[in-house]
């Protein structure tokens, strides 16, 4: 149950600075003018750049920890519904930041607890994200459970809303039926176009997704298949 979860009223209400303290916007009192100074109560919430990569249902964070050093100038967030798992990832981030104080590594990654099937647009503004990862989502095999899948026509519209044109949704699963389901729903959505095989295989994130997620490693150990599909957020057509 997620009744204890809280959500920001809007993306600007989100206290990102507490998640990325190294990127907290500093308010210089001497230079602050009426036009450029954030409102007093917002000052602590501001960060110097927007979050651009989201790992939906990040689990123990393997993907995040592998991607963070590859995208040192980009902010990454993992979103996870299980409290203990989310705390594990936060604890690991604290430790990695502490071990890497000299270089500042891992300051660009965080994890927050959320049910991503609800209120995703409360966290991210329209066209904010460049990449969304859906790695080994729970398959919910039974037909009556399909509505619990994190890919659906409705949720795809939310992913389309928070992604910028040109942004990419990455999917991977070992369940062929779920793979077909995800492809079917994204291909049918007017905002998305599937990447071709060649472009997909050239993307460094695809290799990371196959090898660095906990589920990806498990499936690899068991000799299972991994099905990958990536989808580009297209420009919205002009108004008639």
Residue 213 assigned as binding residue: yes
In the complex, the residues that contact ligand SAM under the rule CB under 6 A are 57-59, 62, 79-82, 85, 115-117, 135-138, 213-216
Residue 6 assigned as binding residue: no
Q: For residue 48, what are the CA distances in angstroms to 15, 45, 64, 206?
A: 13, 10, 20, 28
Residue of 13, 15, 138, 236 marked active site: 138
What one-character-per-residue DSSP string does 179-226 give? HHHHHHHHHHSTTEEEPPHHHHHH-HHHHHHHHHSHHHHHHHHTT---
Q: For ligand SAM, give the closer residue by CB, 189 or 226.
A: 226
Whether 138 is catalytic is: yes
Residue 214 assigned as binding residue: yes
Residue 180 assigned as binding residue: no
Q: For ligand SAM, give the closer residue by CB, 158 or 215.
A: 215
Tokens encoding 75: 């902010």
Q: For ligand SAM, give the closer residue by CB, 167 or 216.
A: 216
Q: How far is the CB of 56 from ligand SAM (least distance, A)?
A: 6
What are the residues whose beta carbons fall under 8 Å from the beta carbon of 16, sequence distance 6 or more? 23, 45, 46, 47, 51
As a whole number of angstroms, the distance between CA 90 and CA 56 comes to 15
Report whether 137 contacts 59 (CB < 8 A).
Answer: no
Q: How far is the CB of 41 from ligand SAM (least distance, A)?
A: 29
Extract the annotated binding site.
57, 80-81, 115-116, 135, 213-215
Extract the annotated binding site for S-adenosyl-L-methionine.
57, 80-81, 115-116, 135, 213-215
Active site residues: 138
């Amino acid at each position: 149950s997620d009744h204890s979860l809280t959500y920001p009223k809007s993306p600007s209400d989100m206290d990102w600075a507490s998640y990325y303290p190294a990127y907290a916007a500093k308010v210089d009192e001497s230079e602050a003018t009426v036009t450029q100074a954030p409102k007093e109560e917002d000052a602590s919430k501001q960060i110097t750049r927007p979050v651009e990569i989201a790992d939906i249902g990040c689990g123990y964070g393997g993907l995040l920890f592998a991607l963070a050093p590859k995208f040192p100038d980009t902010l990454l967030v993992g979103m996870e519904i299980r409290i203990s798992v989310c705390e594990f990832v936060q604890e690991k981030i604290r430790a990695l930041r502490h071990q890497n104080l000299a270089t500042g590594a891992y300051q660009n990654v965080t994890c927050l607890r959320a049910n991503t099937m609800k209120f995703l647009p409360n966290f991210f503004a329209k066209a904010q994200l460049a990449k969304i990862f859906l790695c080994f989502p729970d398959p919910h095999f039974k037909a009556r459970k399909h509505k619990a899948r994190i890919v659906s026509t409705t949720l795809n519209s939310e992913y389309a809303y928070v992604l910028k044109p040109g942004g990419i949704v990455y999917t991977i699963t070992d369940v062929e039926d779920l793979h077909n389901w995800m492809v079917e729903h994204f291909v049918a959505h007017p905002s998305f176009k599937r990447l071709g095989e060649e472009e997909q295989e050239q993307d460094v994130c695809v290799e990371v997704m196959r090898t660095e997620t906990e589920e990806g490693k498990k499936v690899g150990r068991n000799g299972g298949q991994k099905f990958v599909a990536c989808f580009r957020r297209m420009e919205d057509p002009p108004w008639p």
